[in-house]
Amino acid sequence: MPQGHAPHPIGPFPSAPSPTCVHRTKVFERDDFTCVYCGRSPLIDSEVELSVDHVQPRMRGGDHSPGNLVTACTRCNTAKGGRPAWAYLASREDERIRFLARATYVWPRLRAAIEEAAGSRREQNESPPPPGIEGDDG
């Protein structure tokens, strides 16, 4: 018997599932192994690598609950960086629409933050288009 390895005490609770700790595979399965931002999947494109992304970053109070974790490819995850999803999606309409359509399990307050960030950005967007753009109305 190895020394210094006390038997782990088994509590009275038989391995209850912890809602704050979701295995990444569970997240991937829930999202059909598809990035919620760009819609790419390693099942279709072998170059795609999946990762688990925090909608609300941990440093901003986000947790490991299922409503805060989404499947993101490494490319989107890198582009998003440490920002919350709503900051990343505010200027990316395609990704935002895809996210809101796919990630229906995300906490309502986080989804609201995404829609709000996109809306407030649109209101603030009052500056004229940059000069030097030719008329391209076709």
Assigned token pair, 60: 């901003």
* Minimum separation from the CB atom of position 120 to Zn ion (A): 24
Dihedral angle over CA of 48, 109, 25, 14, nearest 10: 170
**Smallest distance from the beta carbon of 111 to Zn ion, in angstroms?**
18
Judged by beta carbon, residue 19 or residue 94, the one nearer Zn ion is: 94
To the nearest whole angstrom, how small is the minimum distance from the Cβ of residue 25 to Zn ion?
18
Q: Cα–Cα distance between 26 and 50 in angstroms, integer?
A: 12
Helices (H) and strands (E) in the chain, counts: 5, 2
Rule CB under 5 A: which residues touch Zn ion?
A: 35, 37-38, 73, 76
**Is the CB of 47 or the CB of 126 nearer to Zn ion?**
47
**Residue number, 56 or 77, with CB nearest to Zn ion:** 77
In the bound complex, what is the minimum distance in angstroms from residue 80's beta carbon to Zn ion? 9
DSSP category for residue 37: T
The kind and range of the H/E element at 52 are strand 50-54
Q: Which two tokens stand for residue 78?
A: 């890198």
The smaller minimum CB distance to Zn ion, of residues 38 and 113, is found at 38
